[in-house]
Amino acid sequence: MIRQAIIPLAGLGTRLLPLTSVFAKELLPINGKPGIEYILDECIDAGIKEVIFIISKKKEMIKNYFHNDAFYNKILKKKKDKRISAEYNKILKYKKIIKFVYQNKPLGTGDAVLKTKKYIKDKYFLMLLPDDLIIKRNCSKDMIKVHKKNKASVMASMKVKKTNVSRWGIYSIKKKINNSNFLISDVVEKPSINDAPSNNAVIGRYILPKEIFEKLKFQKKGRGGEIHITDSIKTLIKDGKTFIGHQFTGKYLDCGTHSGYINSGLEISKL
């Protein structure tokens, strides 16, 4: 059973500067609702019972957003506003399941994951990257089904243009399980066009095994001088761990760039 999810939120958000010099991008509203709430709703709907947020001192705004009880209580005492009360109840629902851990140096996604080591209880856990929204279908829920059936790790994936492979983690296929699930033989972080083994990109949803922590402890810096989760996944695959690429059927929205962020709002407003 997958009961815990982790969300790395300590990234600097350089692609959304200057906004991110003072603001947490994950709180930016997408069609009126903070991006992180879409991710939380996906988790809750997929049966997740605890979500671990990996934040930094600079991103404490995120913690404050979910821990502002005194503020709401004061307002609600003054005026009985149905909308505010409903919003506060929603925040309380999220707050109950969120735990915070800190990654104060932005050393990469792999390093962020390692910070959650002592809190992970089960053999497998879910990781969601907040820049990647997937709408029209609960990708995490579908991946959990694939995990249950195959007792394996799963990564969300989609085909990308050959010219864009260096933006993504790219994997190669060992065997087709069915039309949307593939056994992975290798994965490489942001390869050059010439080095890319395919155009199957990893998108920000992962069901990872607890063993990943043992690899992450010794993980050397990779591309761009960061510690990448992709590099530790590569080692696990080499060791014989099964990883499945799940080609999701929902629509992918990239909210980590200016144009992607604007587009995400437009697409969600059409739902």
Where along the sequence are the contacts to ligand G1P (CB under 6 A)?
A: 109, 129, 131-132, 168-169, 189, 201-204, 228, 230
Residue placing its CB nearer to ligand G1P in the complex, 115 or 228: 228
Considering the complex, state which of residue 88 and residue 169 has its C-beta at the smaller distance from ligand G1P.
Answer: 169
Q: Is the dihedral of CA 2, 13, 219, 60 positive or negative?
A: negative
In terms of CB distance, is 168 or 243 closer to ligand G1P?
168
Closest contact distance (angstroms) between CB of 110 and ligand G1P is 9
Q: Cis bond leading into 29, ω under 30°? A: no
Closer Cβ to ligand G1P, 4 or 200, answer by number: 200
Residue nearest to ligand G1P (CB): 169
CB of 129 to ligand G1P, least distance (A): 5
Cα 125 from Cα 209, distance rounded (Å):
7
96, 243, 235: which is closest to 157 by C-alpha? 243
In the complex, least distance from residue 230 CB atom to ligand G1P, rounded to whole angstroms: 5
Q: Nearest distance from residue 271's CB to ligand G1P, in Å? A: 21
Q: Output 37 or 254, the one with its CB closest to ligand G1P.
A: 254
Report, in Å, the least distance between residue 6 CB and ligand G1P.
14
Shortest spacing between CB 3 and ligand G1P, in angstroms? 23
**In the complex with ligand G1P, which residue's Cβ is closer, 152 or 196?**
196
